[in-house]
């Protein structure tokens, strides 16, 4: 249930509004606050209005009604208190004679009160219906309030009158049927005369009886009345507390005498018990006085204790309540013990609070340092992040460059392969050159050999020509001796010698030529040999070049493979560097957040320090050390 309706305000002229519905209230939850719904509350309000207006009598009646209906309720208790507080009613018993019996007075009061209740029935019955009952009640109460003697007198009078009247009425009753039956047959005068006679006779008998009985009855009643009055006086004296009163009656043996004797017995016993009561009462009074003193002492002790406790409430924990004897002393002792514990607690709290303050301050410094370090770390991480981004970019460039290098390597491989093919052809050509040079050298050697043979032949020819020259010389000599005969011969011989000389000259020329040929052949051979060597050398170089080109192809392919790897790796690296990037970014964010949180923690520590200070100042209001006096 919403609490708000429990706290509503209501204007005084709005009796229908409900107020707080107490959770623990034993009353039914139905709205009990509407005075119109609760006749007792309504009556109480009416009574209060009347009392405020000065109509005390009206208020009294209403209060009494409430008490009569329910004295144990809140309304009843309140009404009773109000009734007790009303000023005493001066004319309340005015209608009663002061000399009446007290019991009658009480009964009259009770009846007046009951009648007043009856005149304000809670159900609101119409007043008119009870008028007859009231008249009867009044008569009954008046009769009850009459003295016994008067009652007897009245009874006697009635006893005297009733027979006469009864007799007379009986006659009339007896006569009437006779008169009616004789109306037709006999004259009325005769019947009437009989009736009159009978009446006179009846009256005479009645009056005579009454006159005869009256003095006797009066004497008895008078005696009874006197004795009763004596007894009434006696009992009244008794009721007023006079147990010493003596009762004397005029008779000695009848019931009245017995009654008087018993009353006297009762009075004596009452006197005895009264004496005992007085003793008991005295003892009780003493007890009460003692109790009152004890209570006052206790109250005083409690008030002292409360004053001390109040001092402790104001924060002074050094208070020591004097431990007097008795229950309050026990409480004071317990209070002192409690206060001691509280003092220890406060001291401990104080110590801890100051330690907390100190530690909070220290921690705050550390946390602030940590915070700035974390900020620096965050900054570094930002730098790292930038570097990583740079690296990532470089890697991307390397990847691009690697791709280009791979292309170039592939082109180099192709070029090397082309070179290899060209080199193969070159080798072929060189081989052909080498065999051509080798053939040429062979032929040059053969030419040299042939020229040597020619030279040898020339030497033979030269020898032959020398021999022919010698022979011609010898033939000329012999021709000279042979003179004229020999002149022809000598001419021949001269011719031969000239021929021989010519041959020698030609041979010498040939030899010269041959020598030149040989020299040139030798040079050619040398050149050829040199050429062969160079060709061989060139062939080797070509081979090496070829191998180099093959190596180059292989290397290029390897490079290509490596570059492919590099390319793949750079892609991986790019991904990795992106991951690193993200990681570093996250780390930077975390570091930033950590720094912020550390600042928050520092703020909290500041608050903690403040709280601890507050706690310390709160605890400081407790005085835990006595003031030096």
Partner 1 sequence: MKSVFVVEDGHTEQAMIKALLGQAGFVVSVASNVDEAWNWLQNNALPNLIVLDIVMPGKSGLELCRMIQEHDKMKDVPIVFCSSKSEEFDRFWALRQGAKAYVVKPYAPKELLDTVFTHIQ
**Contact (Cβ atoms closer than 8 angstroms) between residue 451 and residue 518:** yes
- Binding part of the chain for partner 1, among 68-76, 201-209, 400-408, 489-497 by CB under 8 A, reads 68-76
Q: How far apart are CA 158 and CA 169, in angstroms?
A: 15
Residue 66 vs 493, nearer CB to partner 1: 66
Q: Give the shortest CB-372-to-partner 1 separation in angstroms.
A: 43
Q: Give the shortest CB-10-to-partner 1 separation in angstroms.
A: 6
Residue 295 vs 386, nearer CB to partner 1: 295
Q: Give the shortest CB-322-to-partner 1 separation in angstroms.
A: 18
Residue 12 vs 177, nearer CB to partner 1: 12
Residue 16 vs 435, nearer CB to partner 1: 16
Residue 372 vs 617, nearer CB to partner 1: 617
Q: How far apart are CA 312 and CA 307, in angstroms?
A: 9
Q: How far apart are CA 83 and CA 59, in angstroms?
A: 8
> Which of 49, 291, 365, 491 lies at the binding interface for partner 1 (CB under 8 A)?
49
Residue found under tokens 């009989």: 194
Sequence-distant (6+) residues with CB within 8 A of 454 are 510, 514
Q: Give the shortest CB-288-to-partner 1 separation in angstroms.
A: 16
> Which of 1, 2, 52, 88 lies at the binding interface for partner 1 (CB under 8 A)?
52
Q: Give the shortest CB-348-to-partner 1 separation in angstroms.
A: 26
Q: How far apart are CA 443 and CA 191, in angstroms?
A: 229
**Exposed, middle or buried by CB within 10 Å (0-12, 13-18, 19+), for 563?**
buried
Instruction: Name which of residues 361 to 380 contact partner 1 (CB under 8 A).
Output: none
Residue 3 touches partner 1, criterion: CB under 8 A:
yes
Q: How far apart are CA 371 and CA 375, in angstroms?
A: 6
Q: Give the shortest CB-112-to-partner 1 separation in angstroms.
A: 23
Instruction: Name which of residues 279 to 308 contact partner 1 (CB under 8 A).
Output: 299, 302-303, 306
Neighbours of 29 (CB within 10 A): 10
Nearest alpha carbon to residue 540 among 434, 441, 442:
434
Neighbours of 461 (CB within 10 A): 18
Contact string (CB under 8 A) for partner 1, positions 587-616, x = contact:
------------------------------
Q: What are phi and psi of 418, to 5 degrees?
A: -60, -45
Judged by DSSP in three states, 316 sits in: strand
Long-range CB contacts (< 8 A, 24+ apart) of 232-241? 232/101, 234/263, 234/267, 235/263, 236/101, 236/102, 238/266, 238/267, 238/270, 239/102, 241/274
Residue 35 vs 329, nearer CB to partner 1: 35
CA-CA-CA-CA torsion sign (250, 252, 256, 261): positive
Where b means 16+ CB within 10 Å and e means fewer, 95-112 reads: eeeeeeeeeeeeebeebe
Question: How many residues contact partner 1, by CB under 8 A?
Answer: 45
Q: Give the shortest CB-304-to-partner 1 separation in angstroms.
A: 11
> Which of 7, 184, 185, 189 lies at the binding interface for partner 1 (CB under 8 A)?
7
Q: How far apart are CA 507 and CA 499, in angstroms?
A: 12
Residue 82 vs 385, nearer CB to partner 1: 82
Q: Give the shortest CB-608-to-partner 1 separation in angstroms.
A: 26
> Which of 2, 12, 132, 216 lies at the binding interface for partner 1 (CB under 8 A)?
12
Distance of CA 605 to the CA centre of its chain: 23
Residue 306 vs 498, nearer CB to partner 1: 306
Residue 259 vs 342, nearer CB to partner 1: 342
Q: Give the shortest CB-611-to-partner 1 separation in angstroms.
A: 21
- Binding part of the chain for partner 1, among 1-9, 93-101, 158-166, 538-546 by CB under 8 A, reads 1-9
Residue 108 vs 311, nearer CB to partner 1: 311
Q: What are phi and psi of 45, to 5 degrees?
A: -65, -40
Residue 276 touches partner 1, criterion: CB under 8 A:
no
Residue 26 vs 241, nearer CB to partner 1: 26
> Which of 51, 64, 65, 560 lies at the binding interface for partner 1 (CB under 8 A)?
51
Q: What are phi and psi of 316, to 5 degrees?
A: -85, 105
Q: How far apart are CA 563 and CA 568, in angstroms?
A: 8
Residue 581 touches partner 1, criterion: CB under 8 A:
no
326: left (phi over 0), alpha (psi -120 to 50) or beta: left
Residue 23 touches partner 1, criterion: CB under 8 A:
yes
Contact string (CB under 8 A) for partner 1, positions 187-216, x = contact:
------------------------------
Residue 86 vs 368, nearer CB to partner 1: 86
Which string of DSSP letters, residue by residue, matches 94-151? TTS-TTS-HHHHHHHHHHHHHHHHHHS-TT---SGGGHHHHHHHHHHHHHHHS-HHHH
**Exposed, middle or buried by CB within 10 Å (0-12, 13-18, 19+), for 381?**
buried
**Contact (Cβ atoms closer than 8 angstroms) between residue 567 and residue 406:** yes
Residue 79 vs 430, nearer CB to partner 1: 79
Residue 157 vs 334, nearer CB to partner 1: 334
Nearest alpha carbon to residue 228 among 268, 257, 208, 207:
257
- Binding part of the chain for partner 1, among 43-51, 223-231, 273-281, 386-394 by CB under 8 A, reads 43-51
Instruction: Name which of residues 70 to 129 contact partner 1 (CB under 8 A).
Output: 73-75, 77-78, 80-82, 84-85
Contact string (CB under 8 A) for partner 1, positions 303-332, x = contact:
x--x---x----------------------
Residue 73 vs 107, nearer CB to partner 1: 73
∠ CA 574-577-579, nearest 5°, is 110
Q: Give the shortest CB-15-to-partner 1 separation in angstroms.
A: 7
> Which of 1, 2, 9, 187 lies at the binding interface for partner 1 (CB under 8 A)?
9
∠ CA 80-81-86, nearest 5°, is 95
Q: Give the shortest CB-65-to-partner 1 separation in angstroms.
A: 15
∠ CA 291-293-296, nearest 5°, is 105
Q: Give the shortest CB-67-to-partner 1 separation in angstroms.
A: 12
Q: How far apart are CA 273 and CA 33, in angstroms?
A: 53
- Binding part of the chain for partner 1, among 25-33, 262-270, 349-357, 465-473 by CB under 8 A, reads 25-33
- Binding part of the chain for partner 1, among 6-14, 104-112, 276-284, 521-529 by CB under 8 A, reads 6-14
Contact residues toward partner 1 (CB under 8 A) are: 3, 6-13, 15, 19-25, 27, 32-33, 35, 38, 41, 44-45, 47-49, 51-52, 73-75, 77-78, 80-82, 84-85, 299, 302-303, 306, 310
């Amino acid at each position: 249930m919403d609490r708000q309706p429990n706290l509503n305000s209501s204007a005084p002229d709005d009796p229908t509004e409900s107020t707080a519905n107490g959770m623990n209230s034993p009353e039914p939850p139905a709205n009990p606050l509407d005075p119109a719904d609760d006749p007792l509350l309504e009556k109480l309000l009416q009574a209060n209005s009347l009392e405020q207006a000065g109509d005390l009598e009206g208020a009294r009646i209403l209060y009494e009604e409430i008490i009569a209906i329910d004295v144990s309720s809140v309304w009843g208790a309140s009404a009773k208190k109000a009734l007790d507080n009303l000023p005493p009613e001066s004319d309340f018993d005015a209608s009663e004679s002061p000399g009446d019996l007290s019991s009658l007075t009480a009964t009259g009061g009770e009846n007046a009160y009951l009648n007043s209740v009856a005149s304000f029935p809670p159900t609101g019955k119409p007043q008119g219906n009870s008028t007859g009952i009231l008249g009867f009640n009044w008569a009954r109460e008046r009769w009850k309030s009459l003295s016994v003697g008067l009652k007897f007198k009245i009874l006697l009078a009635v006893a005297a009158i009733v027979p006469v009247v009864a007799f007379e009425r009986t006659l009339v009753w007896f006569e009437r049927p006779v008169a009616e039956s004789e109306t037709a047959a006999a004259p009325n005068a005769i019947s009437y005369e009989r009736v009159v006679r009978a009446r006179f006779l009846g009256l005479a008998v009645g009056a005579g009886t009454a006159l005869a009985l009256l003095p006797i009855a009066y004497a008895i009643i008078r005696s009874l009345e006197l004795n009763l009055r004596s007894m009434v006086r006696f009992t009244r004296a008794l009721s007023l507390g006079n147990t010493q009163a003596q009762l004397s009656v005029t008779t000695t043996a009848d019931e009245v005498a017995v009654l008087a004797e018993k009353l006297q017995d009762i009075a004596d016993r009452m006197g005895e018990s009264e004496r005992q009561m007085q003793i008991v009462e005295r003892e009780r009074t003493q007890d009460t006085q003692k109790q009152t003193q004890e209570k006052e002492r206790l109250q005083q002790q409690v008030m002292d204790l409360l004053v001390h406790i109040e001092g402790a409430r104001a924060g002074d924990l050094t208070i020591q309540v004097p431990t007097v004897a008795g229950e309050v002393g026990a409480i004071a002792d317990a209070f002192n013990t409690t206060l001691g514990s509280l003092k220890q607690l406060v001291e401990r709290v104080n110590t801890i609070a100051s330690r907390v303050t100190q530690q909070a301050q220290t921690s705050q410094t550390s946390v602030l340092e940590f915070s700035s370090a974390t900020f620096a770390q965050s900054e570094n991480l930002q730098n790292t992040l930038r570097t990583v981004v740079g690296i990532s970019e470089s890697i991307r460039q390397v990847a691009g460059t690697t791709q280009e290098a791979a292309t170039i390597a592939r082109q180099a491989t192709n070029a090397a392969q082309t070179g290899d093919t060209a080199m193969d052809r070159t080798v072929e050509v060189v081989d052909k050159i080498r065999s051509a040079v080798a053939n040429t050298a062979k032929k040059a050697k053969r030419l040299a050999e042939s020229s040597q043979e020619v030279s040898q032949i020339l030497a033979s020819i030269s020898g032959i020509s020398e021999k022919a020259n010698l022979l011609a010389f010898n033939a000329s000599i012999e021709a000279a001796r042979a003179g004229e005969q020999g002149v022809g011969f000598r001419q021949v011989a001269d011719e031969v010698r000239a021929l021989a000389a010519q041959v020698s000259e030609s041979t010498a020329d040939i030899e010269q030529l041959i020598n030149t040929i040989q020299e040139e052949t030798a040079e050619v051979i040398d050149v050829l040999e040199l050429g062969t060597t160079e060709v061989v050398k060139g062939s080797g170089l070509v081979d090496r070049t070829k191998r180099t080109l093959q190596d180059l192809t292989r290397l290029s392919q390897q490079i290509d493979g490596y570059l492919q790897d590099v390319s793949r790796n750079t892609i991986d690296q790019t991904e990795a560097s992106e991951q690193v990037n993200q990681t570093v970014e996250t780390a930077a964010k975390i570091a930033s957040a950590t720094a912020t949180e550390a600042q928050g923690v520092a703020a909290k520590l500041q608050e903690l320090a403040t709280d601890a200070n507050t706690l310390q100042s709160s605890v400081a209001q407790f005085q835990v050390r006595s003031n030096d006096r």
